[in-house]
Amino acid sequence: MFSYFKSDPTKKLKKQHSMLLEEAMHAQRNGDIMTYSKLTAEAEALFKQIQDMDGEKR
């Protein structure tokens, strides 16, 4: 009944994922490939975690 008021636990992770991708894009544009690789790997791990959480909800 009150599930409408509960926050989505993946919402915060999705926002963090998009921020990581944006930071990675800026690093790539600045020529910092090491930082780009690190941030992209973190974003991929976070995306896998989001997918796992979405799979549990269904």
pLDDT of 55 reads 85
2: in domain: no
In the numeric block, which tokens belong to residue 19?
A: 């921020």
Find the domain containing 30 and state its range.
8-57
27: in domain: yes
pLDDT of 30 reads 97
Instruction: Encode pLDDT of 1-57 as tens digits.
Output: 566 777 778 899 999 999 999 999 999 999 999 999 999 999 999 999 999 988 876
Q: Give Cβ neighbours of residue 16 (< 8 Å, ≥ 6 apart).
A: 46
Domain count, the chain: 1
Task: Fill in the amino acid letter for 17.
Answer: H
30: in domain: yes
**What pTM was computed for the model?**
0.81
3: in domain: no
pLDDT of 8 reads 78
d(CA 6, CA 9): 9
